[in-house]
Amino acid sequence: MTPAERRDSRDSADPLAPHRARFVGSESPLVYLDGNSLGRPLRVTAQRLHAFVEGPWGERLIRGWDDAWMDLPLHVGDRIAAACLGAAPGQTTVGDSTTVLLYKALRATVGMRPDRTEIVAYADDFPTDRYVAASVADECGLALRWLEADPTGGVTPEQVAAVTSERTAVVLLSHVGYRSAWLADMAAITRVAHGAGALALWDLSHSVGSVPLALDACEVDLAVGCTYKYLNGGPGSPAFVYAATRHHEHLVQPITGWMGHADPFTMGPDWRPDPGIRRMISGTPPIVGMLAMQDMLDLLDDVGMAAVRAKSVALTEHAIEVADEVLAPLGVEVASPRDPERRGGHVTLQHPAMREVVAALWQRDVLPDYRDPGGLRLGLSPLSTSFAEVSRGLETARDLLADLTA
Ligand SMILES: *Cc1c(COP(=O)(O)O)cnc(C)c1O
């Protein structure tokens, strides 16, 4: 077989290939390479949404809260924990956006280290993480210590150790870097934080549903993550927060609403937090937003994260191989780690003309993402992306780049 034939045979050899047909739009020639910004919907989700309007909402009405909705954030949290996080039940809940939950989680961690004066965060992390770190530092009178690291290779335990000290309250870090997909060593970095007496707060937005996690085994303190990326929850679906049981008693978050109260319906004079993870909830949870992700969790339960990760690695290896063959001759560089053990589920390809290339790709129904500087980002959602789709997208990029630079 030629290299091209070998590549073309990959979908027929892929045991997960049949799952792609479960996603809306999979029959169209559109090439979707942005599943890490917004996952495709599952076909069964249309039925779930319709049935919800007719039944639990339309028929049960206010009784729905007693039937299921009061506990739904905890129930779905436990499902995410079991399917993806490597976390025992009772430590995860769903609600708010990632940004808001990150704020609540960061304030809670800082509150657990009242004698400490610094927050450690990564200088090139996703904007929300940097902005929230800055505002919490400001609000709580703490200093920010920025971690500097190579944007492709990402943050190492040694770099974290170099800026972490007896002054550090918390180390905040993405598990998978949003630009290059570097994959941090969660166990080692959490150990470094703990060695200094600090807490570790992880942002799992680009790993949940793509890279298997072991939050309990790594002794992570708190974590947050997004559900509209690899969990296919739909635009703006609510995020989740994990807090290890050992911290619940001391976990005080800043938005003390009635729904995190130990007994919401006493409507008493003072806020008394629920003893468990429910204390991270503030107001009425977004029930409608929790529907679609349950279909993806069903599918992840069936397939298992080990198989999902194997496909994810195969897809990113494939993308790098095709890029090396068809795009490298035009000056395109792979700006993601080449070692799959150090890489999450996306691949970034760099060239000064990429902004124009990505705009032209969108015109042709090839949808990757663009991130400065000059980065074409391929988000390869393992269950909804085919190998042929990746090849087709990159070959189209080659044609456009060749025209642009001719
Ligand atoms: C996608 C993403 C978010 C999203 O935050 P929202 O509040 O949902 O907009 C946050 N952090 C990281 C690292 C992300 O990748």
Interval 213-231: pLDDT, tens: 999 999 999 999 999 999 9
Across residues 266-282, what is the average pLDDT? 94
- Ligand 1 atom, smallest distance to 125 CA: 13
124-182 pLDDT, tens digit per residue, is: 999 999 999 999 999 999 999 999 999 999 999 999 999 999 999 999 999 999 999 99
pLDDT for the residue numbered 383: 98
Mean pLDDT of the chain: 97
The predicted model scores a pTM of 0.97
pLDDT for the residue numbered 317: 98
- Ligand 1 atom, smallest distance to 206 CA: 15
Task: Report the alpha-carbon angle 237-341-185, nearest 5.
Answer: 70
Q: Cβ–Cβ contacts within 10 Å for residue 228, how many?
A: 22
7 has which bridge partners? none
- Ligand 1 atom, smallest distance to 99 CA: 7
Residue 1 has pLDDT above 90, yes or no: no
Q: What single letter denotes the amino acid at residue 336?
A: S
Closest CA relative to residue 170, chosen from 147, 154, 204: 147
User: Which CATH number among 3.40.1390.20, 3.30.70.890, 3.40.640.10, 3.40.630.30 corresponds to the domain 47-300?
Assistant: 3.40.640.10
In whole angstroms, what is the distance from residue 189 CA to residue 200 CA?
A: 8
- Nearest-CA residue for ligand 1 atom 6 is 98
DSSP code, position 28? S
Secondary structure (DSSP) of 139-175: HHT-EEEEE---TTT---HHHHHHH--TTEEEEEEES
Domain boundaries in the chain? 3-32+304-405, 47-300
E strand spans, 204-239: 222-225
Peptide bond into 329 cis (omega under 30): no
The mean-pLDDT minimum among 264-273, 279-288, 299-308 falls in 264-273
pLDDT for the residue numbered 138: 98
244 C-alpha vs ligand 1 centroid, how far in Å? 21
Across residues 247-258, what is the average pLDDT? 96
83 C-alpha vs ligand 1 centroid, how far in Å? 20
Give the chain's radius of gyration (CA, Å): 22
82 C-alpha vs ligand 1 centroid, how far in Å? 22
DSSP code, position 334? E
Architecture (CATH level 2) of domain 3-32+304-405:
Alpha-Beta Complex (3.90)
In whole angstroms, what is the distance from residue 231 CA to residue 38 CA?
A: 9
Choose one of 104, 125, 126, 206 to mutate for the ligand 1 pocket test, by most ligand atoms within 8 angstroms of C-beta: 126
Residue 5 has pLDDT above 80, yes or no: no
- Nearest-CA residue for ligand 1 atom 14 is 205
Q: Residue 328 to residues 133, 333, 350, 357, 392: CA-CA distances in angstroms? A: 38, 6, 10, 15, 16
User: Catalytic positions, please?
Assistant: 126, 203, 228-229, 377
Residue 4 has pLDDT above 90, yes or no: no
Secondary structure (DSSP) of 261-329: BSSGGG--SS--B-SSGGGG--SS--TGGGSHHHHHHHHHHHH-HHHHHHHHHHHHHHHHHHIIIIIGG
Closest CA relative to residue 200, chosen from 159, 164, 227, 238: 164
- Ligand 1 atom, smallest distance to 129 CA: 11
pLDDT for the residue numbered 155: 97
In whole angstroms, what is the distance from residue 279 CA to residue 201 CA?
A: 17
Q: Cβ–Cβ contacts within 10 Å for residue 53, how many?
A: 11
Choose one of 34, 96, 100, 128 to mutate for the ligand 1 pocket test, by most ligand atoms within 8 angstroms of C-beta: 128
Q: Which residues of 156-173 are buried (b: 16+ CB within 10 A; e: fewer)?
A: bbebbbebbeebbbbbbb
- Ligand 1 atom, smallest distance to 174 CA: 13
Q: Residue 294 to residues 199, 232, 301, 394: CA-CA distances in angstroms? A: 31, 9, 10, 32
Q: Which residue has the tokens 């069964």?
A: 44
Choose one of 226, 240, 381 to mutate for the ligand 1 pocket test, by most ligand atoms within 8 angstroms of C-beta: 226
Ligand 1 neighbours (beta carbon < 6 A) = 97-99, 126, 128-129, 174, 178, 203, 205-206, 226, 239
312 C-alpha vs ligand 1 centroid, how far in Å? 20
Residue 2 has pLDDT above 80, yes or no: no
Type and span of the H or E element at 363: helix 354-363
